[in-house]
Structures are given as structure tokens and as C-alpha cells.
Amino acid sequence: MFADKVLVHFNQIFSPIDLGRPLKGKEMSDATIIEDGFIAIKDGKILALGSGEPDASLVNAQTEIIDYTGKMASPGLIDCHTHLVYGGSRENEFSKKLNGVSYLDILREGGGILSTVRATQAASFDTMYDKTKNLLDKMLVHGVTTVEAKSGYGLNWETEKRQMDVVKKLDEMEPIDLVSTFMGAHAIPAEFKENPEGFIDIIIEEMLPKVKEENLAEFCDIFCETGVFNAHESRKLLLAAKEMGFKLKIHADEIDSIGGVDVAAEVGAVSAEHLMAATDEGIKKMADANVIGNLLPGTTFSLMVNTYAPAKKMLDAGMAITLSTDSNPGSCPTANIQFMMQLGCFEMGLTPIQVFNAVTINAAYSIDRGDTIGSFKEGKRADIAIFDAANIDYPLYFFATNLVKDVYKDGQLVVK
């Protein structure tokens, strides 16, 4: 079969080993690095990968050959944890934080997530669509081809639905693919302050069935944290969601360790997110239950707390880990996944290969897309991030600068 396009003469291609499941522990230190590599594309999918000149059997007169001498290629980056769709912004909290007021204190005073909830409830579909599209455009130029997006700034059905409708339409209209997560249990609405479980019951009885019926989200997530939802409420919601056919995620051990990790292991969550405060015991439970640890170092950076998730301990325990932005207006306002990858190296001690595996193959499995993206396996979508770098070390070492040159989505050049 002849290729539509062959991208040739990459100095290096980073090609994750694809075992048909997330890479765990030591497996994350391995990858195939192809020197003088080529990638052949047919009908938007990967046709072949190799070194040197592409085989004559791949090329005919119609095949477009594009030269990438000196560059490095990786599968399109996958940002597998974001809170993308919202109204307003929260730079007004920045000075408070710089003066030592904590994230949870701001939330306790009715600010934080609750202030974004008020702005989101007031924002129209079009306003949020344009705002989120702008953010997606910025992510795409950083090499991101797939994004997970959570609701959770509505806390009432009408607004939660509007957020998820925005995700659905952006997925249809924009080159980036979006995977939708329903996170109605992101904060406790003021009227349920004394009765958080009452709000969980409303989510279970009234919201989840509609999310399912209208096919608005694949995953269900909850914020298990001091002053938000406890382990009992988290378990109750996630078990009900599982029963209705949702795949599960949980924000656990972000600031305090209050049992969210145990819930993740018990209910069979695909991933536990944040894990800055993860304990040795929790790490063992997640490793045993095959829960992927989704680590968000930009949040540690932005909260200025200096407690990075213990990534190396997780790998030593045999866990699979991913990295993502957590992009949101409060605890991590950013569109730059490359900076998260750099924090993975500089602050968590991960190697470039571990980091690239985290944001490609493992991120794909964490959003249930491991069969179609995340590696250069033949037949997978031709989503490719091309770096202005000669090898995979360089874009991690040369920090805080966007080094992505070109991006292909489904074989089409979408960033140049």
C-alpha cells in the first residue's frame, strides 16, 4: 500500500512500546528511539515507521515527501486532565496566595472554585465556546492533539450541561479531540454546605442519568478533599456512576490524604488524579489495583506548596503514571503541557523517556483511547508532534519555551 505522505529524515523518532495496556514501573523507562527516522501516513493513520529511506513499496508518484532533517517526532501529546470550560478568571486571588492565604482557605471563604461557578453560571454557550477554543488553540501549538475536559463549574444541571455541550461541539469542530468527563461533584454548592451527601444524591438521581441519556460524558470524577467531598461520599457517587456504565476517575490526595486513593482502588477507577499527598500505603494500593496515577506538577507549582507527587516512588512500586496540565482558572492556569513535562524532570526526577511515555501511551490509556492513539503503531491515528529539537532530551532540558514546530492531526498538518 502506498503512503499519502512520508515524513522523512527525523534525527530521532520517539516511539513508545505498545503493550496494549499502560506501561508500569520499569516499563516506563523503555522506548524505541529511531535515528534518521521516517513516518508513513495513509488515510490519516500510521502506515509504517522506519529508519533511512522509506521502502519503495511505500512510495509512488502521488506520495508527498516532507523533510524533517534535524527534528524530533513524538506521538501527539495527550493532556488527560483539564478543567477547560468555564467563565471568568481568578487572577484576583493571586496576590492573596502570594501573601500566604491557602487555596482551601480561599474556597472556604466562598472564592476559588465557587467564584468560577458563579462566572460559569452567568456565561453563555457562545462565550464559553470562544473562550475554550482560544485555550485549545494554545494547547495545539504546544503539541497537544487530544484533551480530556471535565465539567464541574456549574453545580446545577443547566450549567453542567452547557459545559459538556461546549466540549461536544469543540470535539466536532476543532482539530483537537476531546474526551468528556462529568465532574458535577467538584465543589459543594452553598445551599448544601451542611449536607454535602444531599448534593451527591441529587447528582446520582437527577444528573448522572441525564448525562448518560444525552451521551454527554464517558467518565465520572469527584473532588475528594478536606472541605469538599469525603471518602464515603466519593465512594457512593463513583459506585452509582459505575453501575450506570461510566468509567471512573477521582481527584485524590491533592492537598490532604483523606482516603480517596482507597476509594479509587476499591471501585476500580481508571485513574487517581493529583496525588501530591500520596502515602506509601496508598501507592501500594494503587499499584495492586492497576489504578493509573495522573500527576499534575503545574498545580504544585501554581499553588506554591512545593509538594510534588512522589512519582519515582510510584514507579518503584510498579504503578503506571501520566502527567497533565490540570488546566483550570484557579490551581493551574496554563495551556502548556511542555512545562508540566519539564517539571516532571526538574521537580519529580523523571527521565525524558518516562515523561514522554507519560504524556503519550499512558495518557491514552488513562482516557480509554489506548487502541487508537498514544503510539506509532500501524493503524493508529497519525497524530504527531514535531519538535525543533534533535533528540528527546532537548525539549525537556531547554525549558519554558515552546519547541513544537509542526503538528499533524489525523495525518493533516494543523500547526506549522
Q: Report the binding-site residues for Zn(2+).
A: 81, 83, 251, 326
Q: CA–CA separation, 85 vs 81, rounded Å?
A: 12
**Closest to 237 in 3D by CA, of 294, 289, 188:** 188
112 binds, among ligand NIG, Fe ion, none (CB under 5 to 8 A by kind): ligand NIG
> Does 116 sit near ligand NIG (CB under 6 A)?
yes
> Does 326 sit near ligand NIG (CB under 6 A)?
yes
Q: Which amino acid is at 384?
A: I
Of 129, 223, 301, 356, the residue at the interface with ligand NIG (CB under 6 A) is 223
> Does 326 sit near Fe ion (CB under 5 A)?
yes
Q: Which is nearer to ligand NIG, 252 or 407 (CB)?
A: 252
Q: Which is nearer to ligand NIG, 76 or 259 (CB)?
A: 259
Q: What three-state secondary structure class fits 51?
A: strand
Number of H helices, E strands in the chain: 16, 16
> According to DSSP H, which parts of 142-221 are helical?
157-173, 196-202, 208-213
**Which residue's beta carbon is nearest to the bound ligand NIG?**
330
Q: What three-state secondary structure class fits 109?
A: coil
Find the length of the chain: 416
Q: Residues annotated as binding site for N-formimidoyl-L-glutamate?
A: 153, 328, 330
**Which residue's beta carbon is nearest to the bound Fe ion?**
326
**Closest to 76 in 3D by CA, of 379, 407, 394:** 407
Q: List the grid coordinates of 170.
A: 469543540
Q: CA–CA separation, 249 vs 264, rounded Å?
A: 7
Asked if residue 119 lies in contact with residue 86, where contact means CB atoms within 8 angstroms, the answer is yes
Q: List the grid coordinates of 124.
A: 453563555
> Does 83 sit near ligand NIG (CB under 6 A)?
yes
Of 146, 180, 327, 328, the residue at the interface with ligand NIG (CB under 6 A) is 328
331 binds, among Fe ion, ligand NIG, none (CB under 5 to 8 A by kind): ligand NIG
Give the Cβ contact number of residue 124 at 10 Å.
10
Q: Which amino acid is at 335?
A: A
Element (H, E) at 202: helix 196-202
Q: CA–CA separation, 401 vs 142, rounded Å?
A: 10
Q: Which is nearer to ligand NIG, 1 or 98 (CB)?
A: 98
Of 177, 253, 254, 406, the residue at the interface with ligand NIG (CB under 6 A) is 254
- To the nearest whole angstrom, how small is the minimum distance from the Cβ of residue 407 to ligand NIG? 26
344 binds, among Fe ion, ligand NIG, none (CB under 5 to 8 A by kind): none
Q: Residues annotated as binding site for 4-imidazolone-5-propanoate?
A: 90, 153, 186, 254, 331
Q: By CB under 6 A, which span of 24-32, 110-118, 160-168, 278-286 interacts with ligand NIG?
A: 110-118
Of 39, 48, 77, 113, the residue at the interface with ligand NIG (CB under 6 A) is 113
- To the nearest whole angstrom, how small is the minimum distance from the Cβ of residue 260 to Fe ion? 12
Where on the chain is the footprint of Fe ion (CB under 5 A)? 326
